[in-house]
Structure formats: structure tokens, C-alpha cells
Structure 1
Amino acid sequence: MMRFVLVLLAGLFLAGCATSGDDSLAPKTANNVDLKRYQGKWYELARMPMYFQRNCAQSEAHYALKPDGDMGVLNRCLTPEWTWEEARGTATPQVPGKTDKLWVNFDNWFTRLLPGVVKGDYWVLYVSDDYQTAIVGNPNRRYLWLLSRKPQVNAETREELLSRARQQGYDTTRLIWRVSDERMAKTSK
């Protein structure tokens, strides 16, 4: 568990540090995200490969709006051995009053030792009008998550998300897709 959290922090730290500085090259965000509607459970449909999620067969994120406008974050990762690994944190708007670009800090001994140093860019690039699907990435396009309120989506929705990600300059051929429950059950036998 500690290793999962440390690697997650290191990845987010590197993601936060590796921005280009040229906003004209950065992906475009959703501009205005209603955090009240965004909160709740999201399933990861697909993600770019990253070290801190290398053992994740299924992942989900739980967001809860706090009274101060920040979001509580619980990321859960189900391993092929059917064990959950968790990381808790807080998402804070990078610019007060703007909710499309957030800093994410995970709560553990390392971030308490170096407060404010280890944080990751969490940019909401797209959210559907009904808040059922979303695309999240970071400015350097190293990280990407396709999210849904359901563990699976139909082919049309999947292609729409892929098309939007490609339009933002992400290499969608590198995506790792969520392992279905049926496949998980077969591999655990």
C-alpha cells in the first residue's frame, strides 16, 4: 500500500513539474466544471500507461465536494489479485474560481513532510452535458484518463471520447483499457 501511494505521488509530482510553460501548446480544458455535479464515483475506462498504476486492472475515483470548495479524493485500484489499493487526497482549484484545472495532493507522511511540494496537475479536458463521461489529462499530455459513471460504455460513446482525446493531441493507441469483471474473474481462478 505504501509503495502504491509513494509511486502515485512521484508520478503526480513529475506530471506537475513537466509543464511546457507555453499555454498555446497545452490541451484545452472544459472551461467551467460544476464540481457539485462532478462529485461522486467515476470508473476509469482507460488510461495512459503510468508506473503508479502498473498493477491496476480496474480503477475508480470518488470525489466529494468540501465546504471550502476543494474536493476530497479517494482513488481505488483493484489489482488482478482482487485486492484494493487506495490513496486519499484533496483537489484544489489552481486558479480561485476556476474549476477546470486542479492541483491534487495526496495525504500521507511524505506530503505532510513536504507540504505543497508534491502535487499533480488534474485538468478536466471534457465533461459531457449530463456529467456521465469525462476526459482528464495534464498539460504535457503524459497522463490521460477516460472516465464514466458506469464501468462500461457503448461503442459510440467510447469512440466519441477517443476522438476528443485525439483532437487534444493525445496518443490514444497507448491507452490501457479497464479489465472487465468477467476477465478479472477468469484470471483469478
Structure 2
Amino acid sequence: MKPQRAFLPLILLAAAVTACAAIPGGPVGNHNVPQPSKPVDLTAYSGLWYEVARYENAFEKDCEGVRAEYSALPDGQIRVVNTCRKGSITAEKTTSEGKAKVVAGSGNAKLKVSFAGPFYIGNYWVLDRADDYSWSIVGEPSGRYLWILSRTANPSPEVWVKLETRAAELGYDRSLIRPTRH
């Protein structure tokens, strides 16, 4: 019996990996991956953004009042500061800071992000944005992550419908879009 118990962690890990691979979400597989629709002016994109909706994910579990702030660094990279309030909009704020760098040839619309030292493993793709940079739809190649951002915490109902519709046009499942409370 004891030798079988030694394999239990491996079995649980295999089950977890299999479950993660089967997570429903947006487009998965290279043929369905939405590509950024416009180049991004990083100066115009800089500043404060409010997450108004997302696909739920492990690192933002139960986060409300989510904000992201982007600013230029002297070396040409971008400083990323994300904040959220775990559980409620009145809870204590948690903050994570990272850096992003532009993927060459992407019109500044694809970035690699690091929240763990020199390793840039996260993808951050600005799939669409308003011409005036009042909203942005962000995803990444697997289609498992989606963020809908706005310069205001609570966009008008008309803007919300436009954003949700545009995310669906990009291949994301509307039923998985989770509004963020502010």
C-alpha cells in the first residue's frame, strides 16, 4: 500500500494538468488565436486602467477593484503595477509590480510581461482598443485569459455592450466573462 501512496501526488498533478488543459475559454490553438487589430502608442496607453471584466483566473481569484497602471521606464521597458482587493471592494489592497517589453514587429501591441525577475514568460496582447484609448481588450495566445479594461471604473451600459460584443467577435465566450466590481 505504501508504494501506491507515493504516486498519489503525481496522479493529482496529472489530473490538475489535464483539467487545466480542458478549461473552456476563448480561442485555443494557433488557427483561432485573435491577433491585435491596431498598433499601440505606448505613451497614449500609459496611465491608469480599470479592469471592468475578465476571465476568472487563479492569480486574480476573488479580486475586486482591480486596477493596472503602466508607465515608461528609462530602459524602454514598461513598469506594470497591478492592484486588487481580495474578496470585496473595501478589503485591503494587494499590489504586484512587474515589467513588460514589446515584442519586435508587433506594432507595440504584443508585450512579454515579467513579475518574477528576469523571466518574461507572460503574454499581454492588446487585441483591440478605442481610438482615443478609453478602453482596451487584452488577451494572449492560449485564449484562456481575457481582460477588458477602461479608463473609467464603470463604463456606460452602451460601452459595456460594445466591449462584450467585441470580445465575443474576437472568439471569447461571453458566458465566461466575469464583471469586476469597483
TM-score normalised over the length of structure 1? 0.76
**Structure 1 residue ranges without an equivalent (≥5):** 1-13, 181-189
Rg: which structure is higher?
Answer: 2
Who is 2:10 aligned against?
Answer: none
Bigger proportion of residues as helix: 1
Instruction: Report whether the alignment pairs 1:63 with 2:37.
Output: no
Who is 1:176 aligned against?
Answer: 178
1:158 pairs, out of 160, 163, 169, with 160
Cα distance in 2 for residues equivalent to 1:156 and 1:71? 31
Residue identity over aligned pairs, in percent, reads 35
- Shift, 1:96, TM fit: 5.5
Who is 1:86 aligned against?
Answer: 95
Instruction: Report whether the alignment pairs 1:139 with 2:141.
Output: yes
Cα distance in 1 for residues equivalent to 2:62 and 2:159? 26
Matched AA of 2:51: E
TM-score normalised over the length of structure 2? 0.78
Q: Deviations over 1:74-132 (max 9, x none)?
A: 000112251111110111012257310000101xxxx34xx32x521100011101111
**Structure 2 residue ranges without an equivalent (≥5):** 1-19, 21-26
What is the CA RMSD across the aligned residues, in angstroms? 2.0
2:113 pairs, out of 75, 88, 104, with 104
Cα distance in 2 for residues equivalent to 1:65 and 1:121? 18
- Shift, 1:155, TM fit: 1.1
Q: Deviations over 1:127-173 (max 9, x none)?
A: 10111111001111100011000000111111111111101110121
Cα distance in 2 for residues equivalent to 1:146 and 1:78? 17
Matched AA of 1:148: S
